[in-house]
Amino acid sequence: MTINTNDCDVRFSDDGKILERCPMEFEGRFYIPNSVTAIGDGAFCECEDLKYLDIPESVTSIGDRAFYGCKNLRILSIPDSVKVIGKDALVNCLSLLPYIIEPLKEKYDDEFNNWRLPPEQAIPTILGIE
């Protein structure tokens, strides 16, 4: 089903529990509804102008390539409720600071094998993962 949220048409599973796809042209900050329990494979893939993403406590899994290529994603809030992060979920998210990824490497095993560090000039001054 498609629902207009965050001023764009976002595709969800029929029961509304899986966020399946955000349009690639989305810009700015995205708020995931509390009814969502999973972020699907490729849900935000290549959303290059996504800058901030708030993941609610209701989410327990993040799919493969969920944020692949979100090169301007600067703030990503991942709550403790998330138990699984899929393969290549954060590859090419060039604006996230490397030190923020270190705690995730420990928690989510080898998900971050393909992590590429951003160039120094791309490092933002305010970042966080909860």
Say what the pLDDT of residue 90 is: 84
The pTM of the full predicted model, rounded to 2 decimals, is 0.74
Q: What is the pLDDT along the chain (130 residues), one digit of tens a residue?
A: 655 565 678 899 999 999 999 988 888 888 899 999 999 999 999 999 998 888 999 999 999 999 999 988 888 888 888 888 888 888 888 777 554 555 555 555 555 554 444 444 343 333 344 3
**Domains (ranges, CATH) in the chain?**
2-122 (3.80.10)
In the chain, DSSP assigns E strands to: 2-5, 8-12, 18-21, 28-31, 38-39, 50-54, 61-62, 75-77, 84-85
